[in-house]
Every structure is written in C-alpha cells, then in structure tokens.
Structure 1
C-alpha cells in the first residue's frame, strides 16, 4: 500500500537545524495496520506518519515489513518521546511506555543521519493542530 504523499512537509527542529521529510499519513485503522508492509525501499527523505485518535502507549511489529525502520514516537505536543529501531520481519513489539499521539517511520539510520533526538520538536499541520489543543 502506498498512500498519497502529503502536500506539506514534516519539519524536525534539531540541534543541527531544520530537517524536512516528505510523508504519507496513516490516520485510520486500516492504513495504520498496513503501514509500510511489503515495501522494500523508500527514499531517504520519505516517511510515514501514523496518527492516533488519542494519546496512549502503542506498539508496532514488523511481521511483513522487509525494510529496517527507525520508529520515532511523538507526544501530542509534537516532541519526540523516543526513537527505536525495528528489524525486518520481526514479530517483537516495538513500543514506548509513554503516551504518544504519533509515530513517524523512517528508513533505518535516517533519524541518526539527520540528527533527530528525544525532545526535538516536529511540525506538520496535522501535528500542529493537535499540539495547539494540548
């Protein structure tokens, strides 16, 4: 499944400056369930933003995902709660105990290459609208 690329970039404010990503948005149950399954590659500046209805602990697995990923767990205020690595085809759950509202999946190693760290602020119209309410 490939979702439409959103017109607005997701921008991460990091210690090394602003980093921009082109994203697909998975904001319903079917899209979140499918995610990046079966994809073998993705551009370095591309990601998928998972949007949840409420802030809560969430978990992901990689059962049908052949591509290693960085999973960026994001609070409702747009700050990065944690960044974890996910291994291809693994059924191990990747999660964070913190309540989160979004998860950004990137090609493995992208978060480190772009200087993305816990506490950094992410901005996109979807994130900003929810952050403004919190």
Structure 2
C-alpha cells in the first residue's frame, strides 16, 4: 500500500522521486541516448546493430600507440581513431600482437572499407582506399561474424554530428 494513514510510506516516496527524475526536462534526467557516450560506438547495417565499448585515440600520441603490445582485447571492445579532418590513411600492425579488423569510416560515419584479420606484427601498409575520418579497430574476424561491411553506418559523439548519416541526437 503506497499511502498509509494520509502519509507517504518510504517505498512510495522513493518510487515517486524516481519517476520524477526519469521524466524528460526534469533536473538531473538524462535526455540523450545512452549510446551517445564517448566510450561507445554503434554500427548498423542489414544485420541489425551492434555496440562496442571503445577507447578513443584522438591525439597523434594516442594514435601512434594504438593497440600496440596488447595481448588481448575484450570481445565487444575496440579503439576508435578520430582524425581532425578526412584524409587518406593507412594502418599497419607494428608491435600489435593480436589480429584486428580495421573499419574505415568517412566523415558521415559511413563505413568505406573493412580490412579483416590484419596479421599481428606485419608492417605492410593497410590503406583505407577512400577518404577517412575515423578507424575502428576490433578483434580480428569479428566484423565478418557480425556482418559489418562497407556501406554500414557507425555513430559516435566523437564524429561530427552535423554531417552524420546516423547522428547521436
């Protein structure tokens, strides 16, 4: 029973306060999608959609380090490299100990290429093949298992939202 002798019980009071906090526009309420968190990206395509927990590589130092020397990567995790402007990029696997899929993304968040199963420690350049603003690295073979391919869309608040094919807001 929520009200007892004209007074709110503790349980009813907590429930009422919780309901108020969940209403849009109430102070403290979150009105954005939980996917629009800087540590997550979402990819959608014919397969549906999938989320990854990511580390961001935004600075030249973070990008140079990347996933080097790591012995493992959690299954639904990765690293998102974001550049200041769209350009021609190439990656390699120097000092990278685990196989990776590299997902090259243009300024709209559209995937322009997926390079599967990059070979650990291989220094052969892996070019995007198209203007690229961001690259998502995930465990090798995972993109194929999930069905991620060129033409699919990636969203992240780290990408410019004004040009996004699939914006966060």
By the TM > 0.5 criterion, same fold?
A: yes
| Rounded Cα–Cα distance in structure 2 between residues aligned with 1:61 and 1:40 | 17
Note if contact 2:101-2:138 (Cα within 8 Å) is conserved in structure 1.
yes
The structure 1 residue matched to 2:142, chosen from 110, 118, 122, is 110
| Rounded Cα–Cα distance in structure 1 between residues aligned with 2:39 and 2:62 | 19
| Rounded Cα–Cα distance in structure 2 between residues aligned with 1:40 and 1:130 | 37
| Alignment RMSD | 1.4
Query: Which sections of structure 1, spanning at least 5 residues, go unmatched?
Result: 1-5
Query: Which sections of structure 2, spanning at least 5 residues, go unmatched?
Result: 1-36, 165-169
TM-score, normalized by length of structure 2?
0.71
Aligned length: 127
Structure whose alpha-carbon radius of gyration is higher:
2
Highest RCO, 1 vs 2 (Cα 8 Å, sep ≥ 6): 1
In the alignment, what sits opposite 1:121? 153
Relative to total residues, which structure has the larger strand share, 1 or 2?
A: 1
Change (3 A) 1:130 1:72: farther
TM-score, normalized by length of structure 1?
0.89
